[in-house]
Amino acid sequence: MKRRTIGIVDYGVGNQASVWRALHRLGYRCRVSSDPAKLDETDILVLPGVGSFPAAMEQLHAHDLVDYLRQSARGGKPFVGLCLGMQLLAEKSREHGLTAGLGLIPGEVVPFPGGGWHIGWNAIEHVGDDPLFAQCDGMAMYFNHSFIFDAPQEYRVYAARTDTRFPVGVRRGNLVGMQFHPEKSQDAGQALLRTLVEGLCP
Amino acid sequence: MIKKRLVGVVTVRGGWAVQSFGYGRYLPLGRPEVLVQNLDRWGADEIMLQCIDRSGGDIGPDFDLLDRVARLGIATPLIYSGGIRNANDARASVNIGADRVCVDALLHDNPDAVAQMGYLLGAQAVIAALPLSVVDGAVLWRDYRIGRDAPLSPEVIALLNEGAVSEALLIDHAHEGHPGAFDPAILDCGLADNVPLIAFGGISDTQAMKGLLKRDAIVAIAVGNFLSYREHAVQAYKEALFDVPVRPAHYNRTVYS
Protein backbone atom coordinates (compact mmCIF):
# COMPACT_ATOMS: atom_id res chain seq x y z
CA MET A 1 0.00 0.00 0.00
CA LYS A 2 1.29 3.46 -0.86
CA ARG A 3 2.48 5.44 2.15
CA ARG A 4 0.56 8.72 2.03
CA THR A 5 2.17 12.08 2.63
CA ILE A 6 0.09 14.62 4.47
CA GLY A 7 0.60 18.36 4.22
CA ILE A 8 -0.31 20.12 7.46
CA VAL A 9 -0.83 23.80 6.82
CA ASP A 10 1.17 25.91 9.28
CA TYR A 11 -0.23 29.41 9.60
CA GLY A 12 0.82 30.18 13.15
CA VAL A 13 -2.42 29.75 15.07
CA GLY A 14 -3.07 26.06 14.70
CA ASN A 15 -2.42 23.04 16.85
CA GLN A 16 -0.35 21.60 14.02
CA ALA A 17 1.98 19.74 16.39
CA SER A 18 -0.91 17.69 17.82
CA VAL A 19 -2.24 16.94 14.35
CA TRP A 20 1.23 15.96 13.15
CA ARG A 21 1.68 13.54 16.05
CA ALA A 22 -1.70 11.92 15.56
CA LEU A 23 -1.14 11.36 11.85
CA HIS A 24 2.47 10.33 12.30
CA ARG A 25 1.32 7.75 14.82
CA LEU A 26 -0.96 6.30 12.17
CA GLY A 27 2.09 5.74 9.99
CA TYR A 28 1.72 8.64 7.57
CA ARG A 29 4.52 10.89 6.41
CA CYS A 30 3.72 14.45 7.42
CA ARG A 31 5.02 17.83 6.33
CA VAL A 32 4.15 20.86 8.42
CA SER A 33 4.68 23.91 6.27
CA SER A 34 3.41 27.24 5.03
CA ASP A 35 5.34 26.85 1.79
CA PRO A 36 3.02 26.04 -1.14
CA ALA A 37 5.83 24.22 -2.96
CA LYS A 38 6.26 21.81 -0.05
CA LEU A 39 2.52 21.41 0.47
CA ASP A 40 2.12 20.66 -3.24
CA GLU A 41 4.32 17.58 -2.83
CA THR A 42 1.79 15.95 -0.51
CA ASP A 43 -1.25 13.74 -1.16
CA ILE A 44 -3.71 15.57 1.07
CA LEU A 45 -3.89 18.89 2.88
CA VAL A 46 -4.96 19.21 6.50
CA LEU A 47 -5.89 22.64 7.81
CA PRO A 48 -5.91 22.57 11.63
CA GLY A 49 -7.04 25.43 13.80
CA VAL A 50 -7.48 26.69 17.33
CA GLY A 51 -8.55 30.27 17.83
CA SER A 52 -10.94 32.87 16.59
CA PHE A 53 -12.03 33.04 12.97
CA PRO A 54 -10.84 36.61 12.24
CA ALA A 55 -7.42 35.98 13.79
CA ALA A 56 -7.04 32.81 11.73
CA MET A 57 -8.03 34.46 8.44
CA GLU A 58 -5.65 37.28 9.25
CA GLN A 59 -2.85 34.76 9.66
CA LEU A 60 -3.76 32.91 6.44
CA HIS A 61 -3.53 36.23 4.58
CA ALA A 62 -0.28 37.13 6.38
CA HIS A 63 1.22 33.81 5.27
CA ASP A 64 -0.07 34.39 1.72
CA LEU A 65 -1.97 31.10 1.84
CA VAL A 66 -5.52 32.13 0.95
CA ASP A 67 -5.17 31.95 -2.83
CA TYR A 68 -3.06 28.81 -2.61
CA LEU A 69 -5.63 26.97 -0.49
CA ARG A 70 -8.48 28.04 -2.77
CA GLN A 71 -6.61 26.90 -5.88
CA SER A 72 -5.62 23.59 -4.32
CA ALA A 73 -9.17 22.87 -3.23
CA ARG A 74 -10.68 23.83 -6.56
CA GLY A 75 -8.02 21.82 -8.36
CA GLY A 76 -9.31 18.67 -6.68
CA LYS A 77 -6.63 18.08 -4.05
CA PRO A 78 -8.01 16.21 -1.03
CA PHE A 79 -8.41 18.74 1.77
CA VAL A 80 -9.53 18.31 5.38
CA GLY A 81 -10.28 21.18 7.77
CA LEU A 82 -10.29 20.41 11.48
CA CYS A 83 -12.26 22.43 14.05
CA LEU A 84 -11.54 26.07 13.18
CA GLY A 85 -10.01 24.73 9.97
CA MET A 86 -13.47 23.44 9.02
CA GLN A 87 -15.06 26.80 9.72
CA LEU A 88 -12.49 28.53 7.52
CA LEU A 89 -13.92 26.62 4.53
CA ALA A 90 -17.13 28.64 4.88
CA GLU A 91 -18.07 31.78 3.00
CA LYS A 92 -18.11 33.96 6.10
CA SER A 93 -18.21 34.01 9.88
CA ARG A 94 -20.05 36.12 12.41
CA GLU A 95 -17.41 35.64 15.13
CA HIS A 96 -16.29 39.09 16.37
CA GLY A 97 -18.13 40.80 13.48
CA LEU A 98 -18.36 39.61 9.90
CA THR A 99 -15.25 38.07 8.30
CA ALA A 100 -14.91 36.46 4.88
CA GLY A 101 -13.68 32.88 4.87
CA LEU A 102 -12.10 30.77 2.15
CA GLY A 103 -15.51 30.40 0.51
CA LEU A 104 -15.03 26.79 -0.53
CA ILE A 105 -18.28 25.41 0.89
CA PRO A 106 -21.49 27.49 0.98
CA GLY A 107 -22.77 28.58 4.34
CA GLU A 108 -21.73 30.75 7.24
CA VAL A 109 -20.28 30.31 10.69
CA VAL A 110 -22.75 31.34 13.37
CA PRO A 111 -22.88 31.21 17.18
CA PHE A 112 -23.56 27.87 18.80
CA PRO A 113 -27.34 27.37 19.13
CA GLY A 114 -28.45 28.96 22.38
CA GLY A 115 -25.06 30.59 22.92
CA GLY A 116 -22.29 29.33 25.14
CA TRP A 117 -19.86 26.60 24.29
CA HIS A 118 -19.82 23.02 23.16
CA ILE A 119 -16.87 21.60 25.08
CA GLY A 120 -16.26 17.95 25.76
CA TRP A 121 -17.15 14.56 24.34
CA ASN A 122 -20.19 14.06 22.19
CA ALA A 123 -21.36 11.40 19.75
CA ILE A 124 -21.40 12.12 16.04
CA GLU A 125 -24.31 10.96 13.90
CA HIS A 126 -23.92 10.12 10.25
CA VAL A 127 -26.09 12.31 8.03
CA GLY A 128 -26.89 11.37 4.43
CA ASP A 129 -25.65 8.37 2.50
CA ASP A 130 -21.95 9.03 1.93
CA PRO A 131 -20.38 5.67 2.85
CA LEU A 132 -17.06 7.29 3.81
CA PHE A 133 -18.62 8.56 7.01
CA ALA A 134 -20.75 5.57 7.99
CA GLN A 135 -17.93 3.75 9.75
CA CYS A 136 -17.57 6.29 12.55
CA ASP A 137 -21.29 6.84 13.11
CA GLY A 138 -22.08 7.03 16.83
CA MET A 139 -18.51 7.43 18.01
CA ALA A 140 -17.73 10.00 20.70
CA MET A 141 -15.36 12.79 19.65
CA TYR A 142 -13.83 15.72 21.52
CA PHE A 143 -15.36 19.13 20.77
CA ASN A 144 -14.18 22.57 21.82
CA HIS A 145 -15.98 25.41 20.03
CA SER A 146 -18.55 28.15 20.40
CA PHE A 147 -19.46 28.66 16.73
CA ILE A 148 -20.77 26.20 14.16
CA PHE A 149 -20.60 26.00 10.38
CA ASP A 150 -24.22 26.26 9.28
CA ALA A 151 -23.73 24.55 5.91
CA PRO A 152 -26.65 23.65 3.63
CA GLN A 153 -28.14 20.21 4.22
CA GLU A 154 -26.61 18.64 1.10
CA TYR A 155 -23.08 19.21 2.41
CA ARG A 156 -23.66 17.84 5.92
CA VAL A 157 -22.17 14.45 6.78
CA TYR A 158 -22.19 14.45 10.58
CA ALA A 159 -24.40 16.05 13.21
CA ALA A 160 -24.30 16.17 17.00
CA ARG A 161 -26.92 16.95 19.62
CA THR A 162 -27.26 19.02 22.74
CA ASP A 163 -30.71 20.54 23.16
CA THR A 164 -30.76 20.78 19.41
CA ARG A 165 -29.16 19.01 16.46
CA PHE A 166 -26.45 20.84 14.55
CA PRO A 167 -23.90 20.06 11.81
CA VAL A 168 -20.40 18.98 12.85
CA GLY A 169 -19.12 17.46 9.61
CA VAL A 170 -19.31 18.66 6.01
CA ARG A 171 -18.18 17.40 2.62
CA ARG A 172 -18.10 18.96 -0.80
CA GLY A 173 -16.30 16.63 -3.19
CA ASN A 174 -12.64 16.55 -2.25
CA LEU A 175 -13.23 18.93 0.68
CA VAL A 176 -14.09 17.68 4.16
CA GLY A 177 -14.50 19.58 7.41
CA MET A 178 -14.81 18.21 10.93
CA GLN A 179 -15.87 20.52 13.76
CA PHE A 180 -14.29 18.32 16.44
CA HIS A 181 -10.71 17.29 17.17
CA PRO A 182 -10.11 13.76 15.87
CA GLU A 183 -6.45 14.17 16.74
CA LYS A 184 -7.47 14.35 20.41
CA SER A 185 -10.35 11.89 20.36
CA GLN A 186 -8.43 8.78 21.34
CA ASP A 187 -9.22 5.58 19.40
CA ALA A 188 -12.33 6.99 17.75
CA GLY A 189 -10.43 9.96 16.37
CA GLN A 190 -7.64 7.77 15.06
CA ALA A 191 -10.16 5.60 13.24
CA LEU A 192 -11.75 8.64 11.64
CA LEU A 193 -8.45 10.18 10.57
CA ARG A 194 -7.40 6.96 8.88
CA THR A 195 -10.77 6.68 7.17
CA LEU A 196 -10.53 10.22 5.85
CA VAL A 197 -6.99 9.92 4.54
CA GLU A 198 -7.57 6.56 2.87
CA GLY A 199 -11.02 7.51 1.61
CA LEU A 200 -10.11 10.88 0.12
CA CYS A 201 -6.74 10.08 -1.43
CA PRO A 202 -6.94 8.45 -4.85
CA MET B 1 -25.52 14.63 24.17
CA ILE B 2 -22.44 16.35 25.46
CA LYS B 3 -20.94 14.43 28.35
CA LYS B 4 -19.63 15.78 31.62
CA ARG B 5 -15.91 15.31 32.02
CA LEU B 6 -13.44 13.74 34.39
CA VAL B 7 -10.25 15.79 34.17
CA GLY B 8 -7.04 14.17 35.35
CA VAL B 9 -4.65 16.66 36.93
CA VAL B 10 -0.88 16.29 37.00
CA THR B 11 0.69 18.81 39.37
CA VAL B 12 4.31 19.70 38.70
CA ARG B 13 6.73 21.43 41.04
CA GLY B 14 10.40 21.82 40.31
CA GLY B 15 9.97 19.72 37.20
CA TRP B 16 8.60 16.71 39.12
CA ALA B 17 5.07 15.49 39.44
CA VAL B 18 3.90 15.85 43.02
CA GLN B 19 0.98 15.13 45.24
CA SER B 20 -0.20 18.45 46.60
CA PHE B 21 -1.93 18.94 49.95
CA GLY B 22 -3.66 22.21 50.73
CA TYR B 23 -1.32 24.27 48.57
CA GLY B 24 1.41 23.81 51.15
CA ARG B 25 2.77 20.28 51.35
CA TYR B 26 4.11 18.25 48.46
CA LEU B 27 5.17 14.65 47.99
CA PRO B 28 7.03 13.51 44.89
CA LEU B 29 5.38 11.13 42.45
CA GLY B 30 7.87 10.95 39.60
CA ARG B 31 8.16 12.09 36.03
CA PRO B 32 5.16 14.07 34.80
CA GLU B 33 5.35 12.35 31.41
CA VAL B 34 4.63 8.97 33.00
CA LEU B 35 1.55 10.24 34.80
CA VAL B 36 0.27 11.90 31.65
CA GLN B 37 0.73 8.65 29.73
CA ASN B 38 -1.22 6.79 32.40
CA LEU B 39 -4.14 9.21 32.21
CA ASP B 40 -4.12 9.02 28.42
CA ARG B 41 -4.12 5.24 28.48
CA TRP B 42 -6.86 5.13 31.10
CA GLY B 43 -9.19 7.32 29.02
CA ALA B 44 -9.36 10.56 31.00
CA ASP B 45 -11.61 13.06 29.26
CA GLU B 46 -9.03 15.82 29.54
CA ILE B 47 -5.61 16.03 31.15
CA MET B 48 -4.47 19.15 32.94
CA LEU B 49 -0.75 19.68 33.35
CA GLN B 50 -0.31 22.36 36.00
CA CYS B 51 3.11 23.71 36.85
CA ILE B 52 2.59 25.43 40.19
CA ASP B 53 5.94 27.19 40.59
CA ARG B 54 6.08 29.16 37.34
CA SER B 55 4.11 32.30 38.17
CA GLY B 56 5.57 32.76 41.64
CA GLY B 57 9.03 32.84 40.13
CA ASP B 58 7.84 34.85 37.10
CA ILE B 59 9.69 32.44 34.84
CA GLY B 60 6.95 31.89 32.30
CA PRO B 61 5.45 28.62 31.09
CA ASP B 62 7.48 25.42 31.18
CA PHE B 63 7.58 25.00 27.41
CA ASP B 64 10.27 22.31 27.64
CA LEU B 65 8.05 20.11 29.77
CA LEU B 66 5.02 20.84 27.61
CA ASP B 67 7.03 19.86 24.56
CA ARG B 68 8.19 16.63 26.18
CA VAL B 69 4.61 15.77 27.10
CA ALA B 70 3.30 16.69 23.66
CA ARG B 71 5.95 14.52 22.02
CA LEU B 72 4.46 11.51 23.76
CA GLY B 73 1.73 11.71 21.14
CA ILE B 74 -1.12 11.47 23.61
CA ALA B 75 -4.59 11.33 22.12
CA THR B 76 -6.35 13.04 25.03
CA PRO B 77 -7.06 16.79 25.11
CA LEU B 78 -4.36 18.57 27.09
CA ILE B 79 -4.85 21.67 29.24
CA TYR B 80 -1.67 23.53 30.18
CA SER B 81 -1.48 25.72 33.28
CA GLY B 82 1.46 27.55 34.80
CA GLY B 83 3.30 30.80 34.21
CA ILE B 84 1.24 32.06 31.28
CA ARG B 85 1.89 35.80 31.14
CA ASN B 86 0.12 36.95 28.01
CA ALA B 87 -1.67 35.91 24.82
CA ASN B 88 1.62 35.05 23.11
CA ASP B 89 2.48 32.54 25.87
CA ALA B 90 -0.96 31.02 25.45
CA ARG B 91 -0.60 30.77 21.68
CA ALA B 92 2.86 29.24 22.02
CA SER B 93 1.42 26.65 24.41
CA VAL B 94 -1.20 25.68 21.83
CA ASN B 95 1.38 25.57 19.05
CA ILE B 96 3.50 23.17 21.12
CA GLY B 97 0.66 20.82 21.94
CA ALA B 98 -1.84 22.17 24.45
CA ASP B 99 -5.48 22.23 23.42
CA ARG B 100 -6.50 24.70 26.08
CA VAL B 101 -4.76 26.90 28.63
CA CYS B 102 -5.64 27.71 32.22
CA VAL B 103 -4.66 30.94 33.96
CA ASP B 104 -4.60 31.87 37.64
CA ALA B 105 -2.04 34.52 38.61
CA LEU B 106 -2.73 36.49 35.44
CA LEU B 107 -6.32 37.00 36.60
CA HIS B 108 -4.90 38.97 39.53
CA ASP B 109 -2.25 40.81 37.54
CA ASN B 110 -3.83 41.60 34.19
CA PRO B 111 -7.40 40.53 33.43
CA ASP B 112 -7.23 42.45 30.14
CA ALA B 113 -4.50 40.09 28.95
CA VAL B 114 -6.81 37.17 29.69
CA ALA B 115 -9.54 38.78 27.61
CA GLN B 116 -7.06 39.28 24.78
CA MET B 117 -6.13 35.61 25.06
CA GLY B 118 -9.79 34.73 24.65
CA TYR B 119 -9.99 36.81 21.51
CA LEU B 120 -6.85 35.30 20.00
CA LEU B 121 -7.44 31.65 20.87
CA GLY B 122 -11.19 31.70 21.21
CA ALA B 123 -12.76 31.82 24.66
CA GLN B 124 -13.33 28.06 24.53
CA ALA B 125 -9.58 27.53 24.81
CA VAL B 126 -9.18 29.55 28.02
CA ILE B 127 -10.04 28.44 31.57
CA ALA B 128 -9.92 30.65 34.67
CA ALA B 129 -8.50 28.91 37.76
CA LEU B 130 -9.91 30.32 40.99
CA PRO B 131 -8.49 28.99 44.29
CA LEU B 132 -11.30 29.62 46.79
CA SER B 133 -12.18 29.02 50.40
CA VAL B 134 -15.02 29.87 52.73
CA VAL B 135 -14.02 32.24 55.52
CA ASP B 136 -16.69 33.43 57.97
CA GLY B 137 -19.38 32.50 55.49
CA ALA B 138 -17.84 34.42 52.61
CA VAL B 139 -16.19 32.83 49.57
CA LEU B 140 -12.73 34.35 49.16
CA TRP B 141 -10.27 34.13 46.29
CA ARG B 142 -6.63 33.39 47.07
CA ASP B 143 -3.58 34.88 45.44
CA TYR B 144 -1.44 31.85 46.16
CA ARG B 145 1.80 33.74 45.54
CA ILE B 146 1.34 35.91 48.62
CA GLY B 147 -1.24 33.89 50.55
CA ARG B 148 -3.80 36.70 50.56
CA ASP B 149 -7.55 36.09 50.39
CA ALA B 150 -10.00 38.61 49.01
CA PRO B 151 -13.40 38.63 47.33
CA LEU B 152 -13.42 37.89 43.60
CA SER B 153 -12.69 41.08 41.72
CA PRO B 154 -15.42 42.66 39.59
CA GLU B 155 -13.09 42.36 36.57
CA VAL B 156 -12.76 38.60 36.95
CA ILE B 157 -16.47 38.14 37.55
CA ALA B 158 -17.14 40.16 34.38
CA LEU B 159 -14.62 38.09 32.37
CA LEU B 160 -16.50 34.94 33.25
CA ASN B 161 -20.05 36.26 33.19
CA GLU B 162 -19.51 37.89 29.79
CA GLY B 163 -17.87 34.80 28.30
CA ALA B 164 -14.38 36.15 27.67
CA VAL B 165 -13.18 32.80 29.02
CA SER B 166 -15.15 29.61 28.79
CA GLU B 167 -15.02 27.83 32.14
CA ALA B 168 -14.08 28.47 35.76
CA LEU B 169 -11.96 25.91 37.59
CA LEU B 170 -13.08 26.35 41.21
CA ILE B 171 -10.36 24.99 43.47
CA ASP B 172 -10.98 24.24 47.12
CA HIS B 173 -7.37 25.03 47.91
CA ALA B 174 -7.61 24.46 51.66
CA HIS B 175 -8.91 20.91 51.20
CA GLU B 176 -6.95 20.04 48.07
CA GLY B 177 -5.40 16.60 48.37
CA HIS B 178 -7.51 15.57 51.35
CA PRO B 179 -9.95 12.75 50.58
CA GLY B 180 -13.64 13.61 50.59
CA ALA B 181 -12.98 17.14 51.77
CA PHE B 182 -14.27 19.29 48.89
CA ASP B 183 -16.50 22.05 50.22
CA PRO B 184 -19.42 22.66 47.82
CA ALA B 185 -19.95 26.07 49.43
CA ILE B 186 -17.18 27.48 47.21
CA LEU B 187 -19.45 26.94 44.21
CA ASP B 188 -21.50 29.93 45.34
CA CYS B 189 -18.74 32.39 44.59
CA GLY B 190 -20.78 35.05 42.86
CA LEU B 191 -20.58 33.95 39.25
CA ALA B 192 -23.63 33.92 37.00
CA ASP B 193 -25.61 30.69 36.91
CA ASN B 194 -24.68 30.02 33.29
CA VAL B 195 -20.90 30.05 33.84
CA PRO B 196 -19.66 26.47 33.33
CA LEU B 197 -17.77 25.22 36.37
CA ILE B 198 -15.07 22.61 36.94
CA ALA B 199 -14.80 21.51 40.57
CA PHE B 200 -11.39 20.57 41.96
CA GLY B 201 -9.76 19.92 45.31
CA GLY B 202 -10.44 17.04 47.65
CA ILE B 203 -12.89 15.21 45.40
CA SER B 204 -12.17 11.54 45.91
CA ASP B 205 -15.31 9.48 46.42
CA THR B 206 -17.88 8.64 43.82
CA GLN B 207 -20.89 9.80 45.86
CA ALA B 208 -19.43 13.30 46.05
CA MET B 209 -18.62 13.15 42.34
CA LYS B 210 -22.19 12.16 41.50
CA GLY B 211 -23.58 14.94 43.66
CA LEU B 212 -21.41 17.50 41.92
CA LEU B 213 -21.95 16.21 38.40
CA LYS B 214 -25.72 16.27 38.84
CA ARG B 215 -25.58 20.06 39.28
CA ASP B 216 -26.38 21.89 36.05
CA ALA B 217 -23.53 24.38 36.36
CA ILE B 218 -20.83 21.75 36.82
CA VAL B 219 -19.52 20.48 33.51
CA ALA B 220 -16.50 18.62 34.85
CA ILE B 221 -14.70 17.50 37.94
CA ALA B 222 -10.93 17.52 38.22
CA VAL B 223 -9.03 14.94 40.22
CA GLY B 224 -5.33 14.95 41.01
CA ASN B 225 -3.79 12.93 43.83
CA PHE B 226 -6.54 10.32 43.93
CA LEU B 227 -5.80 9.15 40.40
CA SER B 228 -2.27 8.26 41.46
CA TYR B 229 -3.13 5.73 44.13
CA ARG B 230 -4.15 2.84 41.89
CA GLU B 231 -3.95 1.52 38.36
CA HIS B 232 -6.76 2.38 35.94
CA ALA B 233 -8.19 4.88 38.40
CA VAL B 234 -10.02 6.77 35.66
CA GLN B 235 -11.88 3.70 34.47
CA ALA B 236 -12.68 2.70 38.05
CA TYR B 237 -14.23 6.10 38.76
CA LYS B 238 -16.14 6.09 35.50
CA GLU B 239 -17.57 2.65 36.07
CA ALA B 240 -18.88 3.86 39.42
CA LEU B 241 -20.38 6.97 37.79
CA PHE B 242 -22.73 4.98 35.57
CA ASP B 243 -25.80 7.01 36.50
CA VAL B 244 -24.43 10.43 35.64
CA PRO B 245 -23.77 11.66 32.10
CA VAL B 246 -20.06 10.97 31.76
CA ARG B 247 -18.39 9.21 28.86
CA PRO B 248 -18.26 5.50 29.73
CA ALA B 249 -15.04 3.91 30.90
CA HIS B 250 -12.79 3.44 27.95
CA TYR B 251 -10.19 0.72 27.62
CA ASN B 252 -7.74 1.04 24.80
CA ARG B 253 -4.39 -0.14 23.65
CA THR B 254 -1.84 2.61 23.28
CA VAL B 255 1.59 2.06 21.81
CA TYR B 256 3.96 4.97 22.38
CA SER B 257 6.76 5.52 19.90
pLDDT for residue A61: 97
pLDDT digits (tens, 9 = 90+) for B134-157: 999 999 999 999 999 999 999 999
Across the interface, which of B120, B124, B250 has its CB nearest the CB of A145? B124
From the candidates A96, A145, A181, A198, give the one annotated as an active-site residue.
A181
**Active-site residue flag, A136:** no
| B76-133 pLDDT tens trace | 999 999 999 999 999 999 999 999 999 999 999 999 999 999 988 889 999 999 999 9
Q: From chain B, which residues contact A within 8 Å (Cβ)? A: 1-5, 40, 43, 45, 70-71, 73, 75-78, 91, 94-100, 119-125, 163, 166-167, 194, 196, 219-220, 247, 250, 252, 257
- Condensed to tens digits (0 to 9), the pLDDT of residues B179-191 reads 999 999 999 999 9
What is the pLDDT tens value at each position of chain A, 202 positions in all? 578 999 999 998 778 889 999 999 999 999 999 999 999 999 999 999 888 899 999 999 999 999 999 999 999 999 999 999 999 999 999 998 999 999 999 999 999 988 889 999 999 999 999 999 999 999 999 999 999 999 999 999 999 999 999 999 999 999 999 999 999 999 999 999 999 999 999 8
If DSSP states are collapsed to H, E and C, what string results for A124-169?
Answer: CEECCCCHHHCCCCCCEEEEEECEEEECCHHHEEEEEECCCEEEEE
- Active-site annotation holds for A126: no
Structure confidence at residue B253 as a pLDDT band (50, 70, 90): low
Testing the interface with A: which of B119, B124, B252, B253 to mutate, by most A Cβ within 10 A?
Answer: B124
Q: What's the confidence (pLDDT) of residue A13? A: 78
Residue type, A194: R
Over residues A30-43, the pLDDT tens digits come to 999 999 999 999 99
Is A181 a residue of the active site? Answer: yes
pLDDT over 70 at B256, yes or no? no
pTM: predicted TM-score of the whole model, two decimal places: 0.94
Q: Give the contacts of A58 (CB within 8 A, at least 6 positions apart).
A: none
First to last CA, chain B: 34
Distance CA B135, CA B146 (A): 17
Residues B222 and A134: their CA atoms lie apart, in Å, by 34
Supply the DSSP symbol for B98. Answer: -
Report the candidate in B41, B47, B43, B42 with the shortest Cα–Cα distance to residue B255: B41
Confidence of residue B57 (pLDDT cuts 50, 70, 90): confident
Pairing of strands A92-93, A108-111: parallel
Sheet containing strand A108-111, strands side by side:
A99-100, A92-93, A108-111, A147-150
